[in-house]
Amino acid sequence: MIKPHGSDELNPLFVYDPAENEALQKEAETLPSLLVSSATAANAVMLGAGYFNPLTGYMNKADALSVAKDMKTTDGLFWPTPVLNLVEDAGDIKAGDRIALTDPNVEGNPILAVMDVEAVEEFSDDDIETIAQNVYRPSPDEAHPGVDAFKAQGKVLLSGPIQVLNFSYFLTEFPDTFRTAVEIRNEIAERGWNKVVAFQTRNPMHLAHEELCHMAMDRLGCDGLVIHMLLGKLKPGDIPAPVRDAAIRKMVELYFPENSAMVTGYGFDMLYAGPKEAVLHAVFRQNMGATHFIIGRDHAGVGDHYGAFDAQEIFDKEVPEGALEIEIFRADHTAYSKKLNKVVMMCEAPDHEKEDFVLLSGTKVREMLAQGIAPPKEFSRPEVAQILMDYYQSINK
């Protein structure tokens, strides 16, 4: 199986031993506590689950700036985006303290992790702007939800290793879908898959997405597909994870051969960082055991901040050769061809005009679903459309 990023073995930071976990929970109750941001909590979940291998905790100021500018830590580890614990005010917490991090996303703010604080530093306004510009690359004339969320967390940075004690709300709310990188690696091995392609989604999968996965599997000669959906915080208007989950599971149940696809999810808050986040997503997938990863048009983008293929080109222009073992499957926009009566990549149909494809905007699809009108079968499987229609009609009552 493909090696994880940066090490020979996966090193998740979750404390799996029950006795040790319980002892740490009791210790944590006696420690100074810090209520962290949703983004910091999601980072803890990803560290605990092994997706951020080989990191041992939150980055310090020097590493954060080095990663933002050069995609590597000060000791040379390739890493695409800073992994931070930012707060507005650290209070009395200082370097050398051992603290309990508490969860903002679960009622009662339970203890999420124990942290050994190595440094408490502060970003300047210039530092914040350097990270925002290098990681998110926002367009100057349009608000960026990822930048807004980053800047809202504060400028005080706590760095150091952590021990993770639970997986926040992800395990309780998505018990059939949330999986750690460790669990996915184990299941890939159990299924006997050697060549595995991963597909990232934060939306339901329509026919074009489904067929893109089939194309990738066929062209790469893969044994299996891991559909890996984001379960964390999204921007307003995105479809909730339980609805996406139901729609995707129905599609796999009806339209994929047995033992060819896994439906899984991971606990992370979307950054909307386009190309840099695409590289981060590739790191996740290598750590969970995938050998290939599908990158399509405007991967992890938002609005018009990024070019259609920026998230593919970054792997050629900015990711050093050998930095990652996972390979990228580059995909163009896929759509149903009326001429060929099948879904194709639009770049592979040069004799087509725009009107030769079945193309619907996201706004148009949402309007149809809200009115109880199923999109055409060339756009969406009827069983998937029904789940989405039920959701949109429920929120519009």
Which pLDDT tens digit goes with each residue over 37-71? Answer: 999 999 999 999 999 999 999 999 999 999 999 99
Q: Is a pLDDT exceeding 70 seen at residue 397?
A: no
Range 176-395: architecture per CATH = 3-Layer(aba) Sandwich (3.40)
Query: In which residue ranges of the chain is CATH 3.40.50.620 found?
Result: 176-395
pLDDT mean over 93-101: 98
Q: How far apart are CA 245 and CA 200, in angstroms?
A: 13
Structure-derived torsion over alpha carbons of residues 15, 234, 33, 21, reported in degrees to the nearest 10: -10
- Nearest in space to 296 (alpha carbons), one of 283, 278, 280, 273: 278
C-alpha distances (whole Å) from 278 to each of 57, 199, 232, 238, 315 are 21, 12, 16, 19, 9
Catalytic residues, by residue number, are: 202-203
Q: Is a pLDDT exceeding 70 seen at residue 200?
A: yes
Mean pLDDT of the chain: 94
The pLDDT of residue 235 is 65
pLDDT in tens, 213-233: 999 999 999 999 999 998 886
pLDDT in tens, 118-172: 999 999 999 999 999 999 988 877 889 899 999 999 999 999 999 999 999 999 9
For CA atoms 235, 239, 241, 244, the dihedral sign is negative
pLDDT in tens, 332-347: 989 999 999 999 999 9
The pLDDT of residue 234 is 65
Residue 154 sits at φ, ψ, to 5 deg, of: 115, 175
Dig out the tokens for 211 from the structure. Answer: 């067929």
pLDDT mean over 80-84: 98
The pLDDT of residue 393 is 87
Q: Is a pLDDT exceeding 70 seen at residue 207?
A: yes
Range 18-171: architecture per CATH = Roll (3.10)
Q: Is a pLDDT exceeding 70 seen at residue 263?
A: yes
The pLDDT of residue 140 is 78
When pLDDT is cut at 50, 70 and 90, the band that residue 362 belongs to is confident
- Nearest in space to 2 (alpha carbons), one of 273, 188, 261: 188
pLDDT mean over 107-126: 97
Query: In which residue ranges of the chain is CATH 3.10.400.10 found?
Result: 18-171
The pLDDT of residue 127 is 97
The pLDDT of residue 142 is 81
The pLDDT of residue 232 is 81
Percent of the chain residues topping a pLDDT of 70: 99
Residue 316 amino acid letter: D
